Amino acid sequence: MLAAASALGGCSFTGTLAPRGPDAQIAANLWWYMFWLGTAIFVGWLVLFIVAMRRRQPADADPDAERRLHRRFIIGGGIVLPCLAFATLFALDLWGINALPQGDDVVVEATGYQFWWEFAYRDPQLVTANELYIPTGTDVEVRLHTEDVIHSFWVPQLSGKRDMIPGRTNTLTLHATEPGRYLGECTEFCGIQHANMRFEVVAVPPAEYEAWHERMARPATEPSTAAQQRGYEAFMNASCAGCHAIRGTSADGEIGPPLTHFASRRWLGAGAAPNDRGHLAGWIVNAQTLKPGNAMPPMEIDAEDLSALLDYLQSLE
Amino acid sequence: MSILDPTADSPQQVRQRLTETWSDPYGTPGFFSTVDHKRVGHRYLVTSFVFFLLGGVEALLMRTQLATPDAAVLNPDLYNRMLTMHGTTMFFLFLGTIIAAWGNYIIPLAIGARDMAYPRMNALSYWVFLFAGIFLYASFFVGAIPDGGWFAYVPLTTDYSAGLAMDFWALGVVFVGISSTVGAINFIVTVFKMRAPGMTMSRLPLVVWSTLTTSFMILLSFPAITLAPLLMAFDRIVGTHFFDAALGGDPLLWQHLFWFWGHPIVYVVFLPPIGWLYMIIPTFTGRPIAGYNWAVAATVATGFISFGVWVHHMFATGLPDVTASFFSVASLGVSFPTAVAFFVFTATLWTARRIRWTAAMLWAVGALVSFVIGGISGVMVAIMPFDWQAHDTYFVVAHLHYVLVAGNVLPMFAAFHYWLPKVTGWMLDERLGKTSFWVTTIGLHVLFFPQHWLGLVGMPRRVYTYPAGLGWDVANLASTVGGYMFAAGVLIAMGNFFVSWRRRAPAGSNPWGAGTLEWATTSPVAPYNFAQIPEVHDRYPLWTLDGDVVDDPVGIAPQPGGVVLADEHHETLETVGLDARLGGVLAMPGPSYWPFWTAAATFLCFFGFLIQNPITLTLGLVAVAATLIGWHHGHLTGGEH
Ligand code: HEM
Ligand SMILES: [Cu+2]
């Protein structure tokens, strides 16, 4: 399985420590405050503790004075110190919660499946998978649903995570300040392929986003060569169409990710492999090799049909 | 009250007769019928440690798979099963039972009793634990190892998990819970009724306070972990819909029930270990613990607060912010008693005249220092906006292992080096003890410290693999190396046990010059514990009394207030009130097979439920009823006084 590594652009690491949105920024700031506070407390206590271990109380020390000293230690360290830390942290907590973005300029319905993601947009309506386009500088409300078990939606560079729970709809606001590709992950253990349930958030400037949205809302490209035509027929005649939808054709399966503009996606199988011809061929012949335990069965398909099918799928820009 | 005439016999004769009165039958019959808290304690120790090793092997397999990106050591299915069994084993079969192990061995001795209040129930709780462990691990032999995670979130574990795997889990967990509950009741009654005369609540050794507190916590929290898996088993096996959102159930109900148990249990598994440290550190500093009342208050307060924080495991489930904030604040509140405990230790060391750096002391101090790191990261994840990032990442894996390993495993080794001479009668090798300490503790930090970083740079937990190129490779490799180092340290400690066993350097009754009552008896402890039940006047009786006198049934007649019980009767003293006034003499039940048979019959019930065979289930229920009747009957006529 290859990496979602190139998703990072020039960055050397992903995650909480490289925030690209206000929500993640708040968490990162909080982390650094707490890191320094925690380090100060740990080091301070440790020094005290080491001194305590090294020093030697004179044998004739006055027991009453000792008792007073003990009390001072315990009240100072056990009550006063945590009170101060507590007040600081509580303030940080409230500030953090209130500073989170809340808007819904764009709304996306995200649904978790074992083990991939569906993203539905409105005006115009469209359904896609495993890649979430959002406009930069905009509050995007993501409504979280699940088709099966509990999943959790997390884009560390943009925001904290939120669970997708049967029978409930949680929401989360994504806001990217910079264009880029950001790694998204499922963070609730959801079965055998929980590890390979990734997605990509692609943040682009609003104009580009509009263009993308408009393009994605169109039906799939018609086959234009003989090979693509043969691939198209193979798709419809093999069991593919039973599980996958391609808008503008009779394929309307709902078990697997929709493939209408599949060729425009960078990854295969929710981050299991890059979307190139070689991996795609391997995926179709036996998706269980790349991602053991996922719901797509191995396909019986002869070499020529496979090649034609690849031609067709790769034409679905 | 049968009081022996102290002048009639020689001490040797009295001891001889006491030994005869209190000994188990020889050989196999004794093995299955013993109710002696010390033998039960041995068994708990060994069994619980075996599960620690099993859980450890599972962990090492996982760490090996995660050492490098895209590795193929374990396939995803097997990885998830190891993940589930590692968590389940460590929590239910090790962490929770190692405290019962030392509790069983030490508590009666530390309060000057001859046994637990209900010795047969004590034996029952062990046998149930053993059978439950066997039940859970039987899943390996029928190829149905649980795979839904040790936290078993629904609906993954109900509608999306076929086969017996999660049935094993759900029923196994209910099964172990019986053992903990029975044990907890026993500890509570023991502490309230069996203390030596004069051992008021404010003279109670701190380990007894922490065990008492956790016993109450177990009684309050275990109903949740009994109810929830039972509902799960019903959803799975009988077809009810408690957790099914489509049919009016609620998947979050599972999480509430699970964490209502799951959070207090975290404190349940580290309060007694902190109690062990409360015993060990005064011994090697030669001074009473500073701020005893503070330590007691901190222990009890932790118990209370632990019931108000479970929702901090659920911040990402989308609860209303106000609800969640309440739990966030409550979680911060735990920092108070924890800080008090740490400054109690610091103050104790501060006024020490001389610290003796034995292996046990090293382990104890190492545990304290390491634990602080887990405490600090715990406060961090109580802050919601940060937790929304850290939750379910390796940051939390690091945090919880710091708390559990430094809060339970390192103290377990401290206790092992401290009390083993009492258990076996021989000393452990100090040099090997120190080597194992350094290897294990450095291993611990190499293993878990980098995981904080991994979580911060986005590595989710519970993943069987990860791609290269995300910047996670080096930290993962380091963590795996640390894992092997930790394991090497544990192996050295085990090696120490066997080497010292061969050497058998005699320990004597009080090798460390400790002040509490467990050191007043012979090592290993005679079957009757104390020939003469001592009267207690302060917190460290042996520092004010002459240690050996307590074991002497007649030699010091009359020891002030000491009571000598008739040696031909299976009896102990009962005390009443918080100030432990002499109440009366209790006839203690002797060896019995019934606890074993009751546990075996319970096994049959669970087995019948598991395989959905009504006949087996009914047979099991009848067997349980029969054994209980037999038990009761045996109690009335079983040759007791
Ligand atoms: C030859 C016929 C098929 C073709 C060409 C095909 C193609 C694909 C492709 C390209 C993907 C990756 C989609 C993405 O990464 O967004 C995929 C995933 C998937 N397919 Fe198919 N598919 C076929 C048959 C089926 C069938 C019959 C099923 C249902 C039984 C199915 C269920 C799935 C599922 C559940 C996934 C998502 C797996 C995951 O990432 O966890 N597919 N398929
Ligand atoms: Cu998932």
Interface predicted TM-score (ipTM): 0.94
Residue nearest to atom 2 of ligand 1 (CA): A240
Ligand 1 nearest-atom number relative to CA A239: 27
Q: Which helix (H) or strand (E) holds A183?
A: strand A180-186
**Mean of the pLDDT values across residues B449-460?**
96
CB distance B216 to B593 below 8 Å: no
- Is residue A131's pLDDT more than 60? yes
Q: What is the pTM of this model?
A: 0.93
Distance CA B21, CA B13 (A): 12
Q: Which residues are bridge partners to B581 per DSSP?
A: B576
- Is residue B640's pLDDT more than 70? no
B residues 325..344 contacting A (CB < 8 A): 325, 328-329, 332-333, 335-337, 339-344
Residue nearest to atom 37 of ligand 1 (CA): A256
**Mean of the pLDDT values across residues A110-118?**
96
**Helix, coil or strand: residue A36:** helix
Residue nearest to atom 1 of ligand 1 (CA): A240
Token pair for B313? 């495991």
Q: Which residues are bridge partners to B426 per DSSP?
A: B506
Token pair for B549? 């006198």
Tell me what percent of the residues of chain B surpass a pLDDT of 90.
Answer: 70
The whole-number pLDDT of residue B563 equals 57
A229: left (phi over 0), alpha (psi -120 to 50) or beta: alpha
User: What are the tens digits of pLDDT across the range B190-204?
Assistant: 999 999 888 999 999
**Mean of the pLDDT values across residues B573-579?**
88
User: What are the tens digits of pLDDT across the range B35-90?
Assistant: 999 999 999 999 999 999 999 999 999 999 999 999 999 999 999 999 999 999 99
CB contact under 8 A, B252 and A165: yes
**Mean of the pLDDT values across residues B125-133?**
97
The whole-number pLDDT of residue B368 equals 96
Q: Give residue A296 CA to ligand 1 midpoint distance, Å.
A: 5
User: What are the tens digits of pLDDT across the range A171-205?
Assistant: 999 999 999 999 999 999 999 999 999 999 999 99
User: What are the tens digits of pLDDT across the range B134-164?
Assistant: 999 999 999 999 999 999 999 999 989 888 9
What is the SS3 assignment for B486-550? Answer: HHHHHHHHHHHHHHHHHHCCECCCCCCCCCCHHHHCCCCCCCCCCCEECCCCCCCHHHHCCHHHH
User: DSSP label at B566?
Assistant: -
Closest by CA position to B462, among listed A293, A193, A5, A199: A193
Which residue of A2, A90, A163 is in closest CB contact with B317? A163
Closest by CA position to B420, among listed B366, B360, B474: B360
Residue nearest to atom 19 of ligand 1 (CA): A256
B residues 269..328 contacting A (CB < 8 A): 290-291, 294, 298, 316-318, 321, 325, 328
Neighbours of B225 (CB within 10 A): 26
Confidence of residue A12 (pLDDT cuts 50, 70, 90): very low
- Is residue A220's pLDDT more than 80? yes
Q: Tell me the average pLDDT of chain A.
A: 91
The whole-number pLDDT of residue B9 equals 67
- Is residue A10's pLDDT more than 60? no
**Mean of the pLDDT values across residues B103-127?**
94
**Mean of the pLDDT values across residues B297-308?**
92
User: DSSP label at B3?
Assistant: B
The whole-number pLDDT of residue B604 equals 95
Q: Which helix (H) or strand (E) holds B475?
A: helix B473-503
The whole-number pLDDT of residue B3 equals 46
Which residues in chain A are closer than 8 Å to B376, comparing Cβ atoms? 38, 41-42
User: DSSP label at A6?
Assistant: G
Closest by CA position to B392, among listed B155, B151, B156: B151
Q: Give residue B563 CA to ligand 1 midpoint distance, Å.
A: 80
Give chain B's length: 641
- Is residue A148's pLDDT more than 70? yes
The whole-number pLDDT of residue B19 equals 87
CB distance B64 to B15 below 8 Å: no
The whole-number pLDDT of residue A11 equals 41
Distance CA A116, CA B622 (A): 49
- Is residue B557's pLDDT more than 50? no
Which span out of B319-333, B479-493, B538-552 was modeled with the highest average pLDDT?
A: B479-493
User: What are the tens digits of pLDDT across the range B5-23?
Assistant: 555 667 777 788 888 888 8
- Is residue B249's pLDDT more than 90? no
The verdict on B355 touching A (C-beta cutoff 8 Å) is yes
Which residue of B245, B340, B387 is in closest CB contact with A167? B245
CB contact under 8 A, B350 and A55: yes
Of A5-14, A134-143, A271-280, B325-334, the range with the lowest mean pLDDT is: A5-14
The string of DSSP codes covering A98-152 is HTS----SEEEEEEEETTEEEEEETTTTEEEESEEEEETTS-EEEEEEESSS-EE
The whole-number pLDDT of residue B530 equals 85
Q: Which helix (H) or strand (E) holds B585?
A: strand B581-587
| Position with higher pLDDT, B324 vs A299 | A299
Could you tell me where the DSSP H helices lie in chain A?
22-54, 63-75, 81-98, 206-217, 226-237, 240-243, 277-285, 287-290, 303-314
What is the SS3 assignment for B320-370? Answer: CHHHHHHHHHHHHHCHHHHHHHHHHHHHHHHCCCCCCCCHHHHHHHHHHHH
Q: Which ligand is nearest to the CA of A281?
A: 1
Distance CA A222, CA B247 (A): 43
The whole-number pLDDT of residue B324 equals 83
